Amino acid sequence: MNALDRRIRALMESVTQAAILPRFRNLASGDVEDKGGNDPVTIADRDAEKLLREGLSAIDPDIAFVGEEAAHEDPATLDHLGDDCWIVDPVDGTRNFAAGHAPFGVLIARASGGLTQSGWIYDCLSGRFCSAHRGRGAFVDGEKVMAKPSGRTPPVAAISLVYMDDGQREATKRHIAPNYELVDIPYCAAEQYPRLALGENDVSIFERTLAWDHAAGTLWLEEAGGKAARPDGSPYRVDEHGRTGLIGAASPALWDDLARLYAEM
């Protein structure tokens, strides 16, 4: 790991120990709220984001900060996504965390010009640390990794139907699902992207593509040799906040196959 990776990992570990794990299976009445649309937030999310913001400011105070909870409180925060910025999901997988089960993690990305330049994914329970820098490969706990398909026939797909409209959902079930072995989604991007590169899943479809959920993972998967892109093949950009639809795959060939089916829906 380089010096920045070590500092980011230390920050993620310290925030996990200070603000996240003490609340795991220990949330009091009133510690969980619904931001709307079955989108929960807990006291751990808010406390962790505060600590992450402080820690990242100590690393580089000149970079803007875009956190999930800050953006919820002040949508103008999203204007910084086109700038040099940190992008943070303090507890990715909040739904799981609030229910008292895995997986959940911390996501941090550093973006410039609307594209992720570096990304870090931390699993709060296992301590797995994924890192990537544009053009320099993808790593797990400091060891370089290359994406590998599951090798299963049909390929394994984790497809999120949660944020699709009724028409999309039915078309996906009818036209795409029969071509794959379907598995449950983990409701956690910090888990889903590693599954795509480490031989567990082959492809995924994401409808909601918020920057704090996908900035780190898309870069990490691509640097591992997989592919993450919009269904039309255009790259994922963090500054396209209102855009939906994203396909991730363990290889470009698997991505092409799913994108073709997606286009035919």
Residues tagged in the binding site annotation: 68, 89, 92, 213
Query: 140: part of which helix (H) or strand (E)?
Result: strand 138-140
Q: Please spell the DSSP secondary structure of 60-90, one letter per residue.
A: -TTSEEEEHHHHHH-GGGGGGGGSSEEEEEE
Give me the half-sphere count of Cα atoms (radius 13 Å) on the Cβ side of residue 222. 21
185 φ/ψ angles, rounded to the nearest 5 degrees: -85, 150
Gap between the Cα atoms of 121 and 248, Å rounded: 16
Residue 68 neighbours by CB distance under 10 Å: 24
Residue corresponding to tokens 């994108």: 259
Comparing CA positions, the residue from 259, 221, 213, 205 lying closest to residue 238 is 213
Gap between the Cα atoms of 113 and 66, Å rounded: 14
Gap between the Cα atoms of 49 and 68, Å rounded: 8
Which tokens in the block code for residue 26? Answer: 């220990």
Binding residue numbers for Mg(2+): 68, 89, 92, 213
Distances (CA, A) of 69 to 33, 114, 262: 12, 20, 32
Residues paired with residue 198 on neighbouring β-strands, in sequence order = 148
Question: Helix (H, G, I), strand (E, B), or coil: what is residue 170?
Answer: helix
Which tokens in the block code for residue 98? Answer: 């609030």
